[in-house]
Structure 1
Amino acid sequence: MSDKVIGVGVIGCGEIAQLMHLPFIQELPAFRVAALCDISPGVLAKLGDQYAVSALYSDYRALLADPAVDAVAICTYDHGEIVAAALAAGKHVLVEKPLAFTPEEARPLVEQAEASGLVALVGYMKLYDPGYETGLKKIAAIGTPRSIQIHDFAGRFDRYGALYTQHRASDIPPDVMATARAAAAQRIDAALGPDHAGYRDHYLLLLMLGSHDLAVLRGAFGTEAHVAYARPVGSDQLLALLEFPGGVPCYLDIGVAKYEWWDEFLHVHGDTDEVRITFQNPYWKHASAFVTVKEAVGEAPVETVLPGTPDTAFRREWLHFADCILNGATPRTPLSGGLADLDLAVAIIKAMPAKG
């Protein structure tokens, strides 16, 4: 293990950076917070004091020019351009999902990362969840599935805030974010095409919430999914029927509900056994997924619940990032996976009835 401490620059200091990334960068011995970048001067000043960081930037290009920064965490709204600049500057990259807004934007990033020799990960933290890892072993043990279901209705996003102290921006001009969202919307519409641009909100639902579920599926069953059917359900839900090799059907159901619990699972039916991975609220620290296995013992059905190791997927993600940088470990969530998920998301939308 190298003695080097990796200097991390965090670009975009909003909720996910404050609640999950910055605390673990500070906690883990392999890292130190070297620089911060945000468009809110107020948030920058408060976080600079909190983490004893004096290198504070309003422009990510200035942060990338800082020699104390070895790696960056990209937590902005729009990621692609910053990923490209970070790799060009010789920085290792951990980018929050989605990798980019369209496959066209993501494809050159994958090529650039692979040619650079740098470590570049997409922040699919669920793939580092110890309960998910246990579930993958149980799924593999049941052989070829009869059917698969991935379901994600999430839950209320206004409850976990009470668990944390967060510095919220009040000094960003309203038109700044509006301009960024409008620019992204224009690129999304072009990627979806004139017959499906009317589903932009459903596509964003797949990218902002459902991309984790697409990654979970890919981690379990690979990338060879064909979209057999898809349709919207209102403005904040979609259904799709995917087919994996051998004609294995997968029912995907993504939406937003106001439950007082987290509602997300992967359920796999085999010939004789069932495996269900139930994910917990990603903002609960030290609460990993748990696995339910249903099988026969003799002629009796037995259901066993395997609790996940009490750890935080974000923390394990950062440990893996360090292992890749310092020890040459093979990245588990490379940029190529982010591109595959964008390709599948576009395919799901284009399988829906035309809506310009």
Structure 2
Amino acid sequence: MSAPQTRPLGIGVIGCGEIAQLMHLPIIHELPQLKIAALCDLSRSVLDGLGDHYGVAARYRDYHDLFRDPAVDAVVICTFDHGPVVRAAIEAGKHFIVEKPLAFTAQEARPLVAAATASGLTALVGYMKLYDPGYRLALEKIAAIGRPKMIQVHDFAGRFDRYQQLYTQLRGQDVDAALIKAGQQEVAGRVATMLGCGHTAYADLYMTLLMLGSHDLAVLRGAFGVAETVSYAQAVGPTHLMAVLGFADRVPALLEVAFGAQYEWWDEWMTVHGEADEVRIDFQNPYVRNAAAIVRLREAAGEGPSERILPGTPETAFRRQWQHFIACVRGEAMPLTPLQGGLDDLELAERIIKALPARALNEAAA
């Protein structure tokens, strides 16, 4: 199913918070193949401020109303709870990009994957790092080193307040706090049910894996496929996880994800150790535009060592993601980040958490 190519794709933005304002809206606005057709948010003040800024008259508080707008060909889903909006998008016949995670549990995601596949719609999970030109370059170098001896993925991130001075963001103060809290509690209940009584104490760790670590699961999968085993997991802290994963041909990977580091740098990297060469990808702060991942190669130079640094082409991964989305809608490309990948990552996240020893809630509090 494809949208008309004689006019720009009309994009509805559902959830006009930080990532929508910092990345999606400016990029949609600047790409000639796209047009911001409608906005949806709980905050009337945010809707009016962004609507006036971008010249968008169609402003909705309920995403169901947006889906009935004939000017909307596709949507980007940036809400807190993605699953119900994804379902509504498929039912409405709208192409979409959904920010990660696809849903909060694999059980919720499975019917969405099946429905999207049956619909023929273009449906992408917003794993923008897989579009990063530095990451794409690194995949070529990783393929050249043969079977890895070991893979390491490390993500402590960094400060989440420094980049805000680079942008102007509207923050609505007119949304009922009780409504937001009720939504968060409802999601927490679904997650707790999935984890079961023996692992509910790890709910914060699971959410860390979904909100921060899902990008790391995605870049691992993009390079090596879906992990076959989870041989070890340790909860270092309430939002600090270590795990040992196994990939095809018994290749091991050490994964470490932690939220809360106050570094003045962005601390996220993947290193692939081969028999004679090593490839490292240093990811840049995802909130800074035109900063691609940096690839570092360690290899032989004659009988001695050599190290090369290959900076990725200056580009914003979110922009490349949108360009790929346009090509998919027009039938010119196949989805690089389909919903199945989002489901694979949710299933792996659950396997990692359930590899941890059973623990009661009162033990976690202690």
Same fold (TM over 0.5): yes
| Equivalent AA in structure 2 for residue 9 of structure 1 | G
**CA separation in 2, counterparts of 1:306 and 1:61?**
46
Tell me the secondary structure at the aligned position of residue 294 of structure 1.
Answer: strand
Percent identity between the two aligned chains: 60
Residue matched to 1:170: 173
Shift of 1:144: 0.5
Equivalent pairs, count: 356
2:336 corresponds to 1:324: no
Residue matched to 2:266: 262
Tell me the secondary structure at the aligned position of residue 34 of structure 1.
Answer: strand
Q: CA offsets per residue over residues 184-231 of structure 1, 9 Å max, x none? A: 111111111111111000000000000000000000000143100001
Q: CA offsets per residue over residues 114-161 of structure 1, 9 Å max, x none? A: 000100000000000000000000000000100000000000001100
Residue matched to 1:3: 6
2:356 corresponds to 1:349: no
2:168 corresponds to 1:185: no
The gaps in structure 2 that reach 5 residues or longer are 361-366
Tell me the secondary structure at the aligned position of residue 113 of structure 2.
Answer: helix
Residue matched to 1:313: 317
| Counterpart mapping for 1:211-290 below 5 A | 211-256=214-259, 257-290=261-294
**CA separation in 1, counterparts of 2:340 and 2:237?**
31
Residue matched to 2:133: 130
**CA separation in 1, counterparts of 2:237 and 2:329?**
44
**CA separation in 2, counterparts of 1:263 and 1:3?**
44
Q: CA offsets per residue over residues 279-307 of structure 1, 9 Å max, x none? A: 00001100000100000111110000000
| Equivalent AA in structure 2 for residue 93 of structure 1 | F
Residue 95 (structure 1) aligned to one of 89, 98, 103 = 98
Residue 155 (structure 2) aligned to one of 145, 152, 156 = 152
Residue 301 (structure 1) aligned to one of 296, 301, 305 = 305
Shift of 1:234: 1.4
**CA separation in 1, counterparts of 2:55 and 2:278?**
50
Instruction: Work out whether residues 271 and 279 of structure 2, in 8 Å CA contact, stay in contact via their aligned partners in 1.
Output: yes
**CA separation in 1, counterparts of 2:38 and 2:359?**
44
**CA separation in 2, counterparts of 1:271 and 1:254?**
26
- Mean CA deviation greater in 163-172 or 222-231: 222-231
Instruction: Work out whether residues 2 and 327 of structure 1, in 8 Å CA contact, stay in contact via their aligned partners in 2.
Output: no
**CA separation in 2, counterparts of 1:341 and 1:172?**
32
**CA separation in 1, counterparts of 2:283 and 2:38?**
33
2:52 corresponds to 1:49: yes
Shift of 1:328: 3.7
| Counterpart mapping for 1:110-129 below 5 A | 110-129=113-132
Tell me the secondary structure at the aligned position of residue 299 of structure 2.
Answer: strand
Shift of 1:327: 3.0
TM-score normalised by structure 1 residue count: 0.99
Superposition CA RMSD, Å = 0.9
TM-score normalised by structure 2 residue count: 0.96
Instruction: Work out whether residues 238 and 255 of structure 1, in 8 Å CA contact, stay in contact via their aligned partners in 2.
Output: yes
- Mean CA deviation greater in 193-202 or 334-343: 193-202
Shift of 1:340: 0.1
Residue matched to 2:164: 161
**CA separation in 2, counterparts of 1:192 and 1:328?**
40
| Equivalent AA in structure 2 for residue 63 of structure 1 | L
Residue 74 (structure 2) aligned to one of 71, 75, 89 = 71
**CA separation in 2, counterparts of 1:3 and 1:286?**
29
| Equivalent AA in structure 2 for residue 221 of structure 1 | F
Instruction: Work out whether residues 12 and 66 of structure 2, in 8 Å CA contact, stay in contact via their aligned partners in 1.
Output: yes
The gaps in structure 1 that reach 5 residues or longer are none
Runs of 4+ in structure 1 off by over 2 angstroms are 1-4
Q: CA offsets per residue over residues 69-99 of structure 1, 9 Å max, x none? A: 0000000000001000111001001000000
Residue matched to 1:36: 39
